[in-house]
Amino acid sequence: MVKFETKGEVVTITLEGVLNGNEHFDIAAEALSNKKIQILGKDITSWNTDFVVTLFNLLKHISKNNITYLHLPEGMEQLLHLAFQTPYKEEENLPPSLPFLEHIGDLGIRFCRSFKKGGIFILDSISSWGRQLLGKAVYRSKDFWMILSDCGPKSILIVSLISFMVGLILAFVGAIQLKTFGAQIYVASLVTIGMTRIMGAIMTGVIMAGRTGASYAATIGTMQVNEELDALQTMGISRTDFLVLPRMNALILSMPILILLSDFMGILGGCFVCVLFWDIPLAEYVKYAVNSFFIKNFLVGVFHGIVFGFIIALCGCYFGVNCGRNADSVGTATTNAVVYAIVWMIVMTGLLTALFQVLGI
């Protein structure tokens, strides 16, 4: 049972009996505003947290300094103290939605600003290469070798495993179709051409975007949260030279080697399927694979990999540098780095494929 008694500026709320949250309060919350509240316990036999929540909802607009507790059960008093520790805030009203044309205009303005911001970052990154050639770029060689070790040797296992599985899948899918013509032996050619020309580069790029691009964004984003980027700027050190340049160099150098490994593991995965499942002799598989290996296809794949490395490094560093100053922003920057890197890799793959087709490469 809950009783309310008002004496001047003091409202006494007497609690007694069984309190289970089903009580009906015969007073409005507005009537309690600007009042001093005294919560008095009297012969309380049982209570639960539902009642505490109900009571809090009635008094949530009251300052904790205006509430006193007398003779309440210890647990109830602790819960009420805890509930009123943080001042209650009404949910912020979202701004009204813009009309359709204004919304389109707002999207266009934001897109142009983002495009300009990204373009400036790309130009600054490219100019840092020029400063490096002139010996004016400021970064530690120790950082470069550490980053190269992380995105190179430490990526070998995952790249090998995924590429092996991709080659295995290509061989399975290709063999099922070619078997109807009795041409299973050409699975070796299919896997070799597919892996060396494009699939090895794409799979390596996707792996490195999820592994290394996310790492770049998280590392630099955490530095932004800790105000380390501001410290570099205060000391007159270019953030692009010190943070972005060694990461771009490391990833671009490691991508061709990882693509070579990816091509080999993909061809090996195709060999595993053909020899064990389709009874193709190992010597025949090797023969057709060698005959289908063209240096032109391999160089096309390596070029794709270099472009992918540049894109992954740019996306990871861009979202890291432009990260907010809280933990949630670091997570958002990491996600954006991976998503944008993969999207731009697919876009560049389409553009390069069309270009090579026109050039007859």
pLDDT of amino acid 94? 56
Q: Collect all residues with Cβ–Cβ distance below 8 Å to 128 and sequence separation of at least 6.
A: 137, 238, 240, 241, 244, 245
Q: Which residues contact 309 (CB under 8 A, 6 or more apart)?
A: 205, 208, 248, 251, 252, 254, 255
For residue 209, the 8-state DSSP code is I
Q: Residue 41's Cα: distance from chain center in Å?
A: 52
Place of tokens 């995965």: 269
The alpha-helical segments, DSSP class H, found in 60-140 are 74-83, 100-133
| pLDDT grade for 31, boundaries at 50, 70 and 90 | low
pLDDT of res. 73: 80
**Residue 261: pLDDT band with limits 50, 70, 90:** very high
Is there a contact between 305 and 201 (Cβ–Cβ < 8 Å)? yes
pLDDT higher than threshold 70 for residue 90: no
Nearest to 240, CA basis, from 340, 121, 338, 324: 121
Residue found by looking up tokens 């693509």 in the block: 259
Neighbours of 343 (CB within 10 A): 13
Per-residue model confidence (pLDDT) at position 328: 84
- Give the whole-angstrom CA distance, residue 257 versus residue 229: 32
Whether residue 88 has pLDDT greater than 60: no
The whole-model pTM stands at 0.71
What pLDDT shows up at residue 91? 54
Average pLDDT rounded to a whole number, residues 4-16 = 79
Helix H or strand E encompassing 279 = none
Mean pLDDT of 226-251: 87
Give the residue with greater pLDDT, 131 vs 183.
Answer: 131
Compute the half-sphere exposure of residue 263: CA atoms within 13 Å on the CB side of its CA: 28
Contact by Cβ (8 Å): 273, 263: no
Q: Rounded mean pLDDT of 302-319?
A: 92
Q: Is the pLDDT of residue 86 over 80?
A: no
326-338: average pLDDT:
89
Q: In this predicted structure, what is the pLDDT of residue 255?
A: 92
Residue 138 has pLDDT above 90, yes or no: no
- For residue 92, pLDDT over 60 is answered with no
pLDDT of 160 reads: 92
24 CB-near residues (< 8 Å, 6+ apart): none
At residue 26, does pLDDT exceed 60? yes
According to CATH, where is 3.30.750.24 located in the chain?
A: 2-83
Residue matched to tokens 């490219």: 126
Distance of CA 263 to the CA centre of its chain: 28
Two structure tokens written together for 24: 């009906």
Domain 2-83: CATH class, spelled out: alpha beta
User: Are the C-beta atoms of 79 and 50 separated by less than 8 Å?
Assistant: no
Q: Answer yes or no: are the C-beta atoms of 313 and 216 closer than 8 Å.
A: yes
Higher confidence at residue 52 or residue 248? Answer: 248
Give SS3 for 287: helix
> What is the average pLDDT score of the chain?
85
Give the pLDDT score at 28: 66
Q: How confident is the model at residue 89 (pLDDT cuts 50, 70, 90)?
A: low
Residue 185 DSSP label: G
Q: What is the mean pLDDT of residues 99-112?
A: 87
